[in-house]
Amino acid sequence: MFQHSEKSQKLLATLKTFMAEHIYSNEQKYAHALHSAENRYAPMPLMDELKAEAKAAGLWNLFVPEDHAEYCDHGGLSFFDYAPLAEEMGRVLWSPEVFNCNAPDTGNMEVFMNFGTAEQKERWLKPLLAGEIRSSYAMTEPQVASSDATNVQLEIKKEGDEWVLNGRKWFITGAMNERTKIFIVMGKTDPNHSSRHLQQSQVLVPKGTPGLTIVRPLTTLGYDDAPIGHAELVFENVRVPAENILLGEGRGFEIAQSRLGPGRMHHCMRLIGTGQRALELACQRVESRTTFGRKLSKHQSIREEISRSFSDIEMARLLVLKTCHQIDTHGVQATLDMIGATKTSVPLMMQNVIDRCMQMHGAGGLTEDYCMAEGFNYARWCRQADGPDQVHQMALGKQIIQRYAESK
């Protein structure tokens, strides 16, 4: 009960060792390399070294689920078993890439696994699984509330043997990265279709296709999240061959639906680790600092806030685990309530946990000297990722009301 498989436990032990030996010890080096890089989105030698180490340690593509076991060496992991591993990676924000487990590539690889043709898999999935290239998923648009996926407006028109794309996207994670080679683009092929869920399609657009411009990187709370980052893109008469469509015309919404549930959970898993690490740092801080003749750790308000943070993390983690377990056993569609509850609870709780932990660090807590401020930013934008929490609360609230409105 509440216990992970032996495989998961072993991987976690290996991962913890790896984090201690290769990740924490390289945090400053990584920060320095990024800080002094001429191009913040260029490949970083340190990252490539660490990836090689991770592969060698058997810590590669841990996100691959059991039903796609053929794509990994570890035999696949259930959501429930992957959760503690993703949490561990969440302790250092840039570490998931080391294990080829970072967003948005994991979600994109799953799209290829689920919906790609043999050829598409060969060309894009294979190098993605090898960590040789990166990818982007282009859905959000600046002009519409993209949380309602039926709102996207980018036009995808058939002209002869080609699809022609016109439109604008933003918050396209990974687009700036130099190794990113392929974009999965959601748009409308049939905007007048009577069913709002059959108007969309998704097509593959290789980076460098004429007419596709990366306008600018975007920051959130001052962070550019390099080397992955979030970009604004413009599509002007971007042409790709007919076979670049995924799954088929009119099936874009279907792909989006299948992709987003897991992505939300991965963010939440990692955020638990981000919050947990902030808590641990805070514990070390309050034990090491004295004000007004008393160790911070002896102030009652500090103890109350540490206590509250511990409880919040514990509850958030349990919510993630139960939701994972339910996805494993009943699938995403039957778990939309719990996914919604998780998506709208965990980021906000972790934002608050980290806020308290930063405060215990004095002014330094807000700076780059600690990982907390960046973790705070991660939690904060997750409250917007895949649509603002409020949109998910709307759906969840409606579902719960229906469930109980009739009961006694």
Considering only residues 167 through 206, tell me which ones interact with a second copy, judged by CB under 8 A. 170-171
Among 196, 303, 333, 334, binds a second copy (CB under 8 A): 303
What are the structure tokens assigned to 351, written together? 């934002």
Measure the CA–CA gap between 243 and 388, rounded to whole angstroms. 34
Q: Is 158 in the site for a second copy (CB under 8 A)?
A: no
Output 20 or 130, the one with its CB closest to a second copy.
20
Binding residues for a second copy restricted to 15-44, rule: CB under 8 A:
20, 24
Stretches 40-48, 67-75, 195-203, 339-347: which one binds a second copy (CB under 8 A)?
Answer: 339-347
- Phi first, then psi, for residue 195 (nearest 5°) are -95, 125
What are the structure tokens assigned to 256, written together? 């989006």
61's CB contacts (< 8 A; 6+ apart) are: 71, 72, 73, 74, 99, 100, 101, 129
Measure the CA–CA gap between 8 and 63, rounded to whole angstroms. 12
Stretches 49-57, 116-124, 214-222, 250-258: which one binds a second copy (CB under 8 A)?
Answer: 214-222
Stretches 6-14, 42-50, 102-110, 382-390: which one binds a second copy (CB under 8 A)?
Answer: 382-390
Among 287, 330, 331, 333, binds a second copy (CB under 8 A): 287
Neighbours of 301 (CB within 10 A): 9
Output 116 or 227, the one with its CB closest to a second copy.
227
Among 89, 233, 344, 353, binds a second copy (CB under 8 A): 344
Q: Is 392 in the site for a second copy (CB under 8 A)?
A: yes
Binding residues for a second copy restricted to 97-156, rule: CB under 8 A:
140, 142, 145-148, 151
Closest contact distance (angstroms) between CB of 322 and a second copy is 6
180's CB contacts (< 8 A; 6+ apart) are: 133, 134, 135, 136, 174, 207
Pairing relationship of beta strands 180-188 and 200-206 according to DSSP bridges: antiparallel
Binding residues for a second copy restricted to 239-268, rule: CB under 8 A:
none
Closest contact distance (angstroms) between CB of 181 and a second copy is 25
Burial group, residue 394, by CB count within 10 angstroms (0-12, 13-18, 19+):
middle
Q: Is 318 in the site for a second copy (CB under 8 A)?
A: yes
Rounded to 5 degrees, what angle do the CA atoms 233, 238, 241 make?
130
Binding residues for a second copy restricted to 60-89, rule: CB under 8 A:
80
Closest contact distance (angstroms) between CB of 153 and a second copy is 13
Among 79, 124, 376, 378, binds a second copy (CB under 8 A): 376
DSSP state string for 79-145: HHHHHHHHHHHTTSTTGGGGGT--TTHHHHHHHHHHH--HHHIIIIIHHHHTTSSEEEEE---TTS-
